[in-house]
Amino acid sequence: MIVAGRSLYTRLVMRVGIVLTISSAVLLIAIWISTQLAANEAYDRILSGSALQIAENTWYQNGAVNVDVPLAAFSMLTAGDQVFYVVIDPDGRTVAGDPDFKPTIPWNKLEDGPLLQDGAYLDTPVRMAVIGRRMPVAGEHPWAVIVLAQTNNARMSFAKSVGTRALLVILAMGVLTVIAAMFTLYQALSPLKKIEAAIRQRDLNDLSPLSITVPVETHALVSSINAFMQRLAVHRATMRRVIGDAAHQLRTPVTALISQMELLSAQHDDEGRRHHLDRLRTRTRHLGALVNQLINHAMVQHRSDTAAPESIDLTQLVRQEMADMLSHQERLLDLAMEAPEQPCVIMGDAISLREAVKNVLGNALQYGAASFLHVQLERKEAQIELRVIDDGPGIPEADWERIRKPFSPRSGERMGASLGLSIVEEVMRAHDGQLRFGYSGAGSFMVVLSFPAQPDGAA
């Protein structure tokens, strides 16, 4: 039973949407990080420049550090932020600025130039620029230190503004991309609708291959559908042929059987009744054999396409069939079976193979084998040959091709549908083998079944 699952179009749209969402999130995070870095770099440059202006106006005179803080140093800073600064002399005393602003001074790093670091003042996060200006004094730290700090409101606001605009742009582009993707996917899946319409418009009896132009991606699908339709057409043709053959072949014996029954009912003397009763038994027996042959023929044709091949030891299969068939024989025959010690392994369907072997042995016992029946199994390179040899009259060489076909005319007064060897031919064709006729070195007639052999390791 086919269960309708979720739409392929819906699946693709959802997957595209998930990919776009993840990509947008990653892009937004990258923009936010890069915006923060750019804002920090820009505002750090301004903060460092302002601190350098204060450092340039710091000097040493009359044994003390002096500073003249220019207003331009603060004008460059953002008006929306709070600014703190302090100037400390080499002895650690506050020369100018906020005396309560006492950040930790990295004295050993002042030679490296302006230092930028995060800190806090009055429980407010700040960004600080620390610059040292060397003074002409002796001591462990001959530096006048300028520390200029600024709150982070402006840089955070700038990063938030840029990030918000980027988010709006990404959302707008994402929506447009999803709409475009939905339209594109709908167009891309339209060939499936075309295939569906081509199949729906087909007549029930039309099993010819689909002849439409499809994309490369769906070519395998259409090829599989065409292959399935071809197999279905073959099976239907086989079924029709089997039904037609059965109807044709059964019509005559059934009519004869009915006639015999009517003649039997019209007889009043015992001798006539016995005569027609014998003929009725014969007709019934022949009709049963015909029905069995028709069923076996249909079975072999069906299994040739449906049965899964398996490893089969042909020696064991032939020995078992010989035992089953010869157990019902009352004639005294010279019987022999020759086979190699190692298994003769082939790939095939055991049921079909038994039917083929049974037909060959049955023909030999019924129409040949006056005094002996020999069976030989021999491995020849990549082939395994099964030879059934008897001392009967054999089959004339002119009829070797004709008797392979079903319902071929029978010689003499033999009754039946002539399906035995045609069944064998079907089985051999399905197993990539070959049915041959010939004569042994002693002049006895033989039927040869040749199979492709499996490697020794497959046994």
Please check whether residue 99 lies inside any domain of the structure: yes
Domain identity same for 267 and 364:
no
Q: Which helix (H) or strand (E) covers residue 24, if one does? A: helix 8-56
Please check whether residue 182 lies inside any domain of the structure: no
Please check whether residue 34 lies inside any domain of the structure: yes
Which of these three, 306, 322, 347, is where a domain ends?
A: 306
Cα dihedral across residues 446, 449, 452, 454: positive or negative: negative
Do residues 360 and 447 lie in contact, with contact meaning Cβ atoms separated by under 8 Å? yes
CA separation, residue 243 to residues 236, 250, 258, 291, 425 (Å): 10, 10, 21, 12, 20
Please check whether residue 58 lies inside any domain of the structure: yes
- The strand pair at 310-313 and 143-151 is best described as unpaired
Q: Which helix (H) or strand (E) covers residue 445, if one does? A: strand 445-452
Please, which pLDDT band fits residue 457 given cuts at 50, 70 and 90? Answer: very low
Domain identity same for 35 and 57:
yes
Question: Is the predicted pLDDT of residue 449 greater than 90, yes or no?
Answer: yes
Please check whether residue 188 lies inside any domain of the structure: no
Question: Is the predicted pLDDT of residue 104 greater than 80, yes or no?
Answer: yes
Give me 240's structure tokens. Answer: 């029709």
Which of these three, 306, 331, 346, is where a domain ends?
A: 306
Domain identity same for 232 and 344:
no
Do residues 260 and 277 lie in contact, with contact meaning Cβ atoms separated by under 8 Å? no
Domain identity same for 16 and 69:
yes
Domain identity same for 98 and 146:
yes
pTM of the model: 0.49
For the residues 29-44, what does the mean pLDDT come to? 87
Domain identity same for 449 and 412:
yes
Question: Distance between CA atoms of 383 and 430, rounded to whole angstroms?
Answer: 16
Please, which pLDDT band fits residue 448 given cuts at 50, 70 and 90? Answer: very high
Domain extent for 36:
11-160
Domain identity same for 292 and 327:
no
Please check whether residue 155 lies inside any domain of the structure: yes
Domain identity same for 122 and 33:
yes
Question: Which of helix, strand or coil describes residue 60?
Answer: strand
Could you count the other beta carbons within 10 Å of the beta carbon of residue 211?
A: 8
* Total count of domains within the chain: 3
Strand arrangement of the beta sheet that strand 143-151 belongs to: 94-97, 83-88, 143-151, 124-134, 115-121
Question: Which of helix, strand or coil describes residue 316?
Answer: helix
Which of these three, 257, 280, 306, is where a domain ends?
A: 306
Q: Which helix (H) or strand (E) covers residue 134, if one does? A: strand 124-134
Rounded to the nearest 5 degrees, what angle is found at the Cα of 207, between the Cα atoms of 202 and 210? 70
For the residues 99-108, what does the mean pLDDT come to? 87
Question: Is the predicted pLDDT of residue 458 greater than 70, yes or no?
Answer: no
Domain identity same for 312 and 454:
yes
What pLDDT, in 10s, does the model give residues 147-196?
999 998 888 888 888 888 888 888 888 888 888 888 888 888 788 888 87
Q: What is the pLDDT of residue 128?
A: 92
Question: Distance between CA atoms of 360 and 385, rounded to whole angstroms?
Answer: 14
Find the range with the poorest average confidence among 48-57, 218-227, 260-269, 347-356. Answer: 260-269
Do residues 110 and 145 lie in contact, with contact meaning Cβ atoms separated by under 8 Å? yes
What pLDDT, in 10s, does the model give residues 80-94?
788 999 999 888 888
Question: Distance between CA atoms of 399 and 165, rounded to whole angstroms?
Answer: 93
Which spans in 57-189 are helix H? 72-75, 153-188
Give me 305's structure tokens. Answer: 């396409």
Domain identity same for 431 and 447:
yes
Q: Which of 247-261, 287-301, 323-337, 387-401 has the highest mean pLDDT?
A: 387-401
